[in-house]
Amino acid sequence: MNAAAFEPALRWTGEALEVLDQRRLPAETVYLRLDDAAAVAEAIRGMAVRGAPAIGLAAAYGVCLAARHWSRVLGGQAGPWRTRVAEDMARLAASRPTAVNLHTALAQLRPLIEAEPPAAPEDLLAAVSRMHDRLREADRAMAEAGAARLAPGARVLTHCNTGALASAGCGTALGVIRAAHARGLLGAVYATETRPWLQGARLTAWELGRAGIPFQLVCEGACGALMQQGRVDWLVVGADRIAANGDVANKIGTYTLAVLARRHGARVMVVAPTDTFDPTLDSGAAIPIETRAAEELTTLAGRPLAPPGTPAWNPVFDVTPAELIDLIVTEKGVIEQPDRAGVARLLALR
Ligand code: MRU
């Protein structure tokens, strides 16, 4: 796959983190320059950068910015340096609740901050750069492993945006679709519009179009009819957090699609790097689910869709039970018919 075929979600300039502002896509391709951890936390909270692996990596660069900033302000890493950096890490950790990749990335850096003496800012940056390389390589490995499971002519339905915009490399589920397209395997690609934030209509459609992959956009309400007509072989999605028993939290609507898939004989593939697993949670019931503002439902690009003051419930993730999932594809291997034992076996390789 040609890496230049996609726009990276994140760019490190040497001095600052640049994020491709996903709120402005597809109309404008604009990178925001972020100079400190507070700006990174705000970019994650406000969804300028989104998607589980991408927000984990953005937070990791945010720690680099914090470490450098407080070294400059305090004249080194003495005194309250560690406290100040820890405060910035807490701010980053609180920016969004569901994607565990955020916490996985921060946990990977914490020993460097807590070491005596702490790692120098340039060593932290080197560690984050290695994390970036590892996640990029994980995307590539998952793309190949997932595509290898598709038969020629496979017709796939995907949900939300799981492409380069959401990750460090070619993407998770969309990476599988890119690799399958490169192998000439795809019979059809359907992308849901993904109400209410429209990650599918705005971002996945943009990425598929730029990659030259033929597809059709569908609204979530059409997916039952699509599957009933026998037009979907695989539902291919990403994940924001996977519990110890294999339950998967992903974009709201994934559960509905997985139930429909089971009803209509389509198979379900979840594609996620091992950083997305949270073995501390016994099942999906314990996964914190983000609820966002009612305005995401009641307005569109600032214009009212519903009468003013309409109350709305806007959970932005749901949990698909492991029993509805056929495969979880990771960079370390594939779990078939996921369950507690399968997850434990895979995580032993991490
Ligand atoms: O709210 P978002 O856009 O951050 O949600 C993203 C998703 O749910 C993706 O499907 C997920 O992060 C997995 S793939 C990168």
Tell me, using a 6 A CB cutoff, whether residue 331 lines ligand 1.
Answer: no
Considering the chain, what is the average pLDDT of its residues?
96
Nearest-atom number in ligand 1 for the CA of 174 is 14
Q: Considering the entire predicted model, what is its pTM?
A: 0.97
pLDDT tens, 15-65?
999 999 999 999 999 999 999 999 999 999 999 999 999 999 999 999 999
Q: Report pLDDT for 325.
A: 98
Domain boundaries, the chain: 3-138, 141-347
Tell me, using a 6 A CB cutoff, whether residue 250 lines ligand 1.
Answer: yes
CATH code of 141-347, in short, is: 3.40.50.10470
Q: Where does the pLDDT of residue 301 fall: very low under 50, low under 70, confident under 90, or very high at 90 and above?
A: confident
The 3-class SS string of the chain reads CCHHHCCCCEEECCCCEEEECCCCCCCCCCEEEECCHHHHHHHHHCCCCCCHHHHHHHHHHHHHHHHHHHHHHHCCCCCCHHHHHHHHHHHHHCCCCCCCHHHHHHHHHHHHHHCCCCCCHHHHHHHHHHHHHHHHHHHHHHHHHHHCCCCCCEEEEECCCCEHHHCCCCECHHHHHHHHHHCCCEEEEEEECCCCCCHHHHHHHHHHHHHCCCCEEECHHHHHHHHHCCCCCEEEECCCEEECCCCEEEECCHHHHHHHHHHHCCEEEEECCHHHEECCCCCHHHCCCCECCCHHHHEECCEECCCCCCCCCCECEEEECHHHCCEEEECCEEEECCCHHHHHHHHCCC
Given ligand 1 and candidates 174, 195, 250, 331, which is best to mutate, with the most ligand atoms within 8 Å of its CB?
250
Q: Report pLDDT for 46.
A: 97
Q: Give the whole-number percent of the chain exceeding pLDDT 90.
A: 95
From the CA of 78, how far away is ligand 1's center (Å)?
Answer: 38
| Residue 123 appears among annotated catalytic residues | no
Q: Report pLDDT for 230.
A: 98
- Nearest-CA residue for ligand 1 atom 2 is 51
Tell me, using a 6 A CB cutoff, whether residue 167 lines ligand 1.
Answer: yes
Point out the least confidently predicted range of 138-147, 254-263, 294-303, 334-343: 294-303
| CATH 1.20.120.420 at 3-138, yes or no | yes
Q: Where does the pLDDT of residue 3 fall: very low under 50, low under 70, confident under 90, or very high at 90 and above?
A: very low
Tell me, using a 6 A CB cutoff, whether residue 257 lines ligand 1.
Answer: no
